[in-house]
Structure 1
Amino acid sequence: MKLNELSDNPGSTKNRMRVGRGIGSGKGKTGGRGVKGQKARTGVAIKGFEGGQMPLHRRLPKRGFYNPFSTDYNEVNIGRIQQAVDAGKLDAKAAVTVDALIAAGLIAKPRDGVKILGNGEIKAKLAFEVAAASKGAIAAIEGAGGSVKLLAAEAASAS
Structure 2
Amino acid sequence: MENQNVKDMVKQIFTEYLNVNGHRKTPERYAILDTIYSIDGHFDIDRLYSQMMNQENFRVSRATLYNTIILLINSRLIIKHQFGNSSQYEKSYDRETHHHQICTQCGAVTEFQNEALQNAIGSTRLSKFQLSHYSLYIYGVCSKCDRANKRKKVSNNNKKEK
**Fold equivalence (TM over 0.5):** no
Normalised to the residue count of structure 2, the TM-score between the two structures is 0.18
For CA contacts below 8 A with separation 6 or more, give which structure has more relative contact order: 2
- TM-score of the superposed pair, with normalisation by structure 1: 0.18
Larger radius of gyration: 1
Q: Which has the higher helix share?
A: 2
